[in-house]
Amino acid sequence: MKPETKAIRIQNERSQEHEHSVPLFLTSSFVFDDSEHMRATFADENEDNIYSRFSNPNVNEFVDKMCALEGTEAGFATASGMSAIVASFLAFLKSGDHLLACSSIFGSTHTVISKYLVRWGITFTYADINKPETWEALIQKNTKMIFVETPTNPGLDLVDLEWLGQLAKKHKVLLNVDNCFATPALQQPAHYGADLITHSATKFIDGQGRVLGGAVLGKKELIKEIYLFCRSTGPSLSPFNAWVLSKSLETLHLRMERHSENALKLASMLQHHPLIASVKYPFLLSHPHYAIAKKQMKSGGGIVTFELKGGLAHGRKFLDSIKMCSLTANLGDTRTTITHPASTTHSKLTEEERQKTGITAGLVRVSVGLEHITDIAADIEQALDKLK
């Protein structure tokens, strides 16, 4: 079956009620037939459910769909995208290990790496995503993992996953790819050698800004370590959220097509606007990594960034003039959302750190929704007119 079909047709086995839509399993624990069944389950001799902190039918279905879409052997779902990131780090990194990460990453991920991992004796080095020729020299004898976002948040820079997969394999380090912006509908990092793929399912996977969720996907032996870590530490995904996310995957490919179509049209319209210094979108010819985007992505995704002339003052006035679009830090919604990364999602970074990753005072991030493109463009145009 094609991925679009798998996202719709993979589901739990029907109960004796013969339901067409999978029911909710709102239970904290599960019962056993007898003492031997209970013993065997706790001994991992079968895959039966024990406790919803470990597994749950709704969560299992969501994971099965994500694995099918990403082309991975196994996966584990978590309560949020950040809990997935943390699990993907702490299940494999220990005191004395080194992490190599691209410098252009989500603000909370930066905080975890720079503030918390170092407390446990895990060192890190940031690599410039625009200078891939410098990466190999940054790999140390104790480097255990390479972590990247592609496209990055919010800079929309890209890494050549084929090249990076070969580099990680050469040095025998784990390659961990945050695939949140592209989603498996547009890009499958496992096809290029990624060992772990992390997601904030809160974003495009859900697609309507309703629930939180995360996932780590990859090779079976690696996900076993993720499972053991999360089973003990407890960042479990709720059955209700898993049920919502599983349903959301049924429309993921359709939604990403429309998100990408609208985003490309918006980016093309804005790139010559007199009040905008620059526009960035992976499938624009002007994007510095356009060739990489065309190579490894089916389309450019739903995020557009642009740099306003006039810096912070114009940025604030622009946001205050928006009427239809939503001002929120979330993204991947059916509704177009707009945010100012320097004062929100990446405000914890120093000014120097923001400048290094291209997060300037005038940068605006637009998560282009599913509204009609003329309505999205009209709202942004009228806000830009207020800056004249």
Give the pLDDT band of residue 357 (cuts 50, 70, 90): low
**Residue 231 sits in the same domain as residue 301:** no
Q: Could you tell me the pLDDT band of residue 359, with boundaries at 50, 70 and 90?
A: confident
Q: Where residue 175 sits, what CATH number does that domain have? A: 3.40.640.10
Whether the predicted pLDDT of 371 surpasses 70: yes
Query: Residue 337 is part of which domain span?
Result: 252-385
Note whether 54 and 19 are same-domain residues.
Answer: yes
Q: What is residue 295's predicted lDDT score, i.e. its pLDDT?
A: 97
Q: Which of 202, 229, 249 is the last residue of a domain?
A: 249
Residue 346 banded pLDDT, cuts 50, 70, 90: low
From 100-114, 199-213, 250-264, 340-354, the region with the lowest mean pLDDT: 340-354
pTM for the full predicted model: 0.95
Mean pLDDT of the chain: 95
The span from the CA of 198 to the CA of 251, in Å, is 20
140-162 CB burial, b ≥16 within 10 A, e <16:
eeebbbbbbbbbbbbbbbbbbbe
Please list the alpha-helical segments (H only) found in 234-372. Answer: 239-249, 252-270, 290-296, 311-321, 351-356
Asked if 174 and 275 sit in the same domain, the reply is: no
pLDDT of residue 47: 92
Domain boundary residue, one of 212, 232, 249: 249
How do residues 7-48 score in pLDDT, each as one tens digit? 999 999 999 999 999 999 999 999 999 999 999 999 999 999
How large is the average pLDDT for residues 329-353? 82
Q: 276 to each of 44, 155, 267, how far by Cα in Å? A: 58, 16, 11
- Mean pLDDT lowest for which of 99-108, 173-182, 209-218, 285-294? 99-108
Per-residue pLDDT reduced to its tens digit, 55-108: 999 999 999 999 999 999 999 999 999 999 999 999 999 999 999 999 989 989
In sequence order, what are the residues at sequence separation of 6 or more whose Cβ sits closer than 8 angstroms to the Cβ of residue 111? 348
Query: Number of structural domains, the chain?
Result: 2
Quick one: average pLDDT of 280-296?
Answer: 97
Q: What percent of the chain has pLDDT over 90?
A: 89
- Are 7 and 124 within one domain? yes
For residue 326, pLDDT beyond 70:
yes
* Domain final position from 209, 229, 249: 249
Residues 263, 240 share a domain: no
Same domain for 96 and 7: yes
Q: Residue 117 CA to chain centroid, in angstroms?
A: 20
Same domain, 330 and 352: yes
Distance between CA atoms of residues 196 and 190, nearest Å = 8
Residues 139 and 281 reside in one and the same domain: no
At 297, which CATH number?
Answer: 3.90.1150.10
Q: Hunting for tokens 């399912």 — which residue is that?
A: 201
